[in-house]
Structure 1
């Protein structure tokens, strides 16, 4: 396949790779502090994440300048529009990742990510309202623009006033509850998700997991509501692991990266829960999730590189 044709079909979903890698890097940063893990792993992952983000960003920017109609088509697609929020989420996650590496870079990434997230939230929700969308077009990827709002306070507590951050937390939690109802209705009472969207079921884990981290950052406490959010995340993690047969025979799609960030977010939430409460249950959960998330990221990364070399990614659907 010609290089230009592959560029034309370069999907916005590629930014989910950055989400998975940065989430794993942050998880190992927290593990290094609490469990005295080596710093080599998070430092390596931070470097790898940065390189991957730059490569994907430059490639997609090239697509924007050369195939603007294709980008516009993705931005007006009822499913793909949600993946544009992976860009500010990647920036916000990298901001958290860089917080202990280079504070000025972390703050710069946070400001850009926050502003872009604020815009995309308003744009995406107005898109949902103005378009006559079919129930079949809804899927767990709709959570992505919402998760970004809940993520804003995580890196912003040392940058801006908590009252400002509360806006993002409130919007994220409010729309998470609404979308949870809509998407469960779609999954239970309508046609099954297409194979390539099955991995997005793992996104159910992300809002309560990130919500736990964000709430603790805002309040400094692991109280009843934080425990509620954390345990909802535990439930969705157990549910999806219980449904493992739904995933083991799936054909590879770039959407497999949807397995990664939710698992890393739940890992970080468990590490935080252990840190705040001293719970040995949370300790063993965090170690188990860190092991699982590492294995999943390595496997999905291997499959991605394998299919890239076979030129089976960035093809017309």
Structure 2
């Protein structure tokens, strides 16, 4: 047991990210599509329970094996997984925003500064350490995606200015890191098989960015005294850019599905989950914006390939929700099997 505690991996917090992302997706589906509320609520509490177990376990690891944790915190790849802890807190803040506003606010006030610390620490690490190109991988986006998550509830708790600050950091470094990682993918050796699932992370910054951008527009509408965010987002090029980039990467990973089905199980399979949940939520939000615009007469009924636009997003959102649910159930099943075989928390 001591040995297994020593090798308890920080990437396991990606499990909580995937579960909480799915919980938020079902909360939105309950609100806009009439899904049972109990699904989203149960998933939120389950995700919090899993996070608590992981956090306590990692705390014991820190107490008993501080040198191991110190080594992981200075490892060129593993360092990028520590911000998943603050991302979990931010996701809980989003999930609890309507369920428990006080808890949501407390979690945001803890998660936002903590994630800023992780972002500063990781970027400082990249600057002062001699990294190799093969160290770069999509997990580098984890410290960046968290910044784009902050405005979703941050517009209520920290104000529009704070939300824009975090959003700007996230989008700026997303572009830079994507360029570096894509260069590494094209011109250098391919990723080891267990890291291939991290390619799904390409979806997350754009999908979360779209959601965050909508929330910032909503915050601006609130402080200016007019509910103009729906019109603003529907006709804003950057909002369409963010959503469409996320949708493109979703198509891309589906196009490459034969590559992923050959990957043997590893904890990195959980990299499949949160990006798909984020794209699902973004699509539900896109459906809502178009539906409201049509109902309020802001825009006429628009068609895409002969299909009414809001109807198209309705079916796309539901398809993504069902797929993401099946994906997370399957990955969770494989994780439980691996845990029973004692294939998790072992030396790499």
- Mark yes or no: TM-score above 0.5: yes
Match of 1:239 in 2: 252
Given the alignment, which residue of 334, 342, 348 partners 1:303? 334
CA distance in 2 between counterparts of 1:76 and 1:84 reads 11
Task: Report the secondary structure of 1:252's partner residue.
Answer: coil
CA distance in 2 between counterparts of 1:190 and 1:292 reads 32
Q: Which deviations, in whole Å up to 9, do the C-alpha atoms of 1:210-252 show, x marking residues without a partner?
A: 0000000001332221111000000000000000011102111
What's the offset of the Cα at 1:297?
Answer: 0.5
Match of 2:268 in 1: 255
Match of 1:20 in 2: 18
Match of 1:153 in 2: 151
Check whether the contact 2:17–2:274 (CA below 8 A) recurs between aligned residues: yes
CA distance in 1 between counterparts of 2:108 and 2:289 reads 25
Match of 2:108 in 1: 110
Match of 1:133 in 2: 131
User: What RMSD over aligned residues (CA atoms) do the two structures have, in Å?
Assistant: 0.7
What's the offset of the Cα at 1:281?
Answer: 2.0
Match of 1:190 in 2: 188
What are the ranges of 5 or more consecutive residues in structure 2 without an aligned counterpart?
Answer: 219-228, 292-309
CA distance in 2 between counterparts of 1:277 and 1:170 reads 26
Tell me, yes or no, if structure 1 residue 267 matches structure 2 residue 265: no
What are the ranges of 5 or more consecutive residues in structure 1 without an aligned counterpart?
Answer: none
Match of 1:95 in 2: 93
* TM-score between the two structures when normalised by the length of structure 2: 0.90
Task: Report the secondary structure of 1:158's partner residue.
Answer: helix
CA distance in 2 between counterparts of 1:110 and 1:97 reads 11
* TM-score between the two structures when normalised by the length of structure 1: 0.98
Match of 2:75 in 1: 77
Q: Which deviations, in whole Å up to 9, do the C-alpha atoms of 1:11-61 show, x marking residues without a partner?
A: 000100010000000000000000000011111101110110100000001
Task: Report the secondary structure of 1:157's partner residue.
Answer: helix
What is the number of residues matched between the two proteins? 315
Match of 2:206 in 1: 208
What's the offset of the Cα at 1:285?
Answer: 1.4
CA distance in 1 between counterparts of 2:326 and 2:118 reads 32
CA distance in 1 between counterparts of 2:311 and 2:119 reads 38
Q: Which deviations, in whole Å up to 9, do the C-alpha atoms of 1:115-170 show, x marking residues without a partner?
A: 11010101000100111100001000000000000000012111121011111000
Q: Which deviations, in whole Å up to 9, do the C-alpha atoms of 1:64-123 show, x marking residues without a partner?
A: 000011111110000010000100100000110111111111111111110110101010
CA distance in 2 between counterparts of 1:96 and 1:289 reads 20
CA distance in 1 between counterparts of 2:153 and 2:72 reads 29
Task: Report the secondary structure of 1:94's partner residue.
Answer: helix
CA distance in 2 between counterparts of 1:78 and 1:313 reads 21
With 204-213 and 215-224 compared, the bigger mean Cα shift is at: 215-224
CA distance in 2 between counterparts of 1:165 and 1:210 reads 13
CA distance in 2 between counterparts of 1:48 and 1:298 reads 14
CA distance in 2 between counterparts of 1:52 and 1:62 reads 16
